């Protein structure tokens, strides 16, 4: 899967609103580093969140459910892809690297082109 999923996006949104911060283009863009996305796409996501009724009163599961129920949000998420060299370190012993179509988790390589 080479696009931003509703689960990942819901986690990003929840991280913003759990501290009582309103989701806007600035803080959403800041949280989406590592994803190839422009200001216009971010604004569409912010508008989609408002249209879906997503606010600080919802928990992460409810946010994910509303994102999945919104065809406009799902369509927009499908256009957002990870940066060519996204590296995530979880500090639990496994490093996760994604370069083009190859994902490396620890010493295991997964190549979607094979």
Cβ–Cβ < 8 Å for 36, 78: no
Could you tell me if 23 and 62 lie in one domain? yes
Could you tell me if 56 and 77 lie in one domain? yes
Residue numbers in the chain where pLDDT is lower than 50 = 1, 86, 114
Cβ–Cβ < 8 Å for 32, 9: no
- Is residue 106, in this structure, part of any structural domain at all? yes
Could you tell me if 32 and 48 lie in one domain? yes
Cβ–Cβ < 8 Å for 68, 6: yes
Could you tell me if 18 and 73 lie in one domain? yes
Q: What is the DSSP letter of 58?
A: S
Listed residue (21, 18, 9) closest to 52, CA to CA: 9
- Is residue 44, in this structure, part of any structural domain at all? yes
SS (H, E, C) 30-41: HHCCCEECCHHH
Question: Residue 58: CA atoms inside 13 Å, Cβ hemisphere, count?
Answer: 21
Q: Report how far residue 80's alpha carbon sits from residue 24's, in angstroms, rounded to the nearest whole number.
A: 17
Could you tell me if 11 and 63 lie in one domain? yes
- Confidence (pLDDT) at 109: 60
Cβ–Cβ < 8 Å for 72, 51: yes
Could you tell me if 71 and 18 lie in one domain? yes
- Is residue 10, in this structure, part of any structural domain at all? yes
Show the domain range for 49: 6-82
- Confidence (pLDDT) at 2: 52
- Is residue 1, in this structure, part of any structural domain at all? no
pTM (two decimals): 0.67
- Confidence (pLDDT) at 107: 59
Number of domains composing the chain: 2
- Is residue 73, in this structure, part of any structural domain at all? yes
Could you tell me if 88 and 103 lie in one domain? yes
Q: Report how far residue 49's alpha carbon sits from residue 13's, in angstroms, rounded to the nearest whole number.
A: 9
pLDDT in tens, 73-94: 999 998 888 776 545 555 555 5
């Amino acid at each position: 899967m080479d696009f931003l999923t509703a689960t990942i996006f819901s986690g990003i949104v929840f991280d913003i609103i759990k501290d009582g911060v309103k989701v806007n283009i600035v803080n959403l863009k800041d949280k989406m580093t590592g994803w190839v996305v422009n200001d216009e796409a971010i604004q569409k996501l912010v508008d989609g969140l408002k249209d879906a009724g997503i606010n600080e009163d919802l928990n992460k599961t409810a946010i994910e459910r509303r994102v999945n129920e919104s065809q406009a949000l799902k369509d927009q998420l499908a256009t957002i892809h990870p940066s060519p060299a996204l590296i995530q370190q979880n500090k639990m012993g496994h490093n996760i690297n994604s370069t083009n179509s190859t994902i490396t988790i620890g010493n295991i390589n997964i190549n979607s082109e094979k």
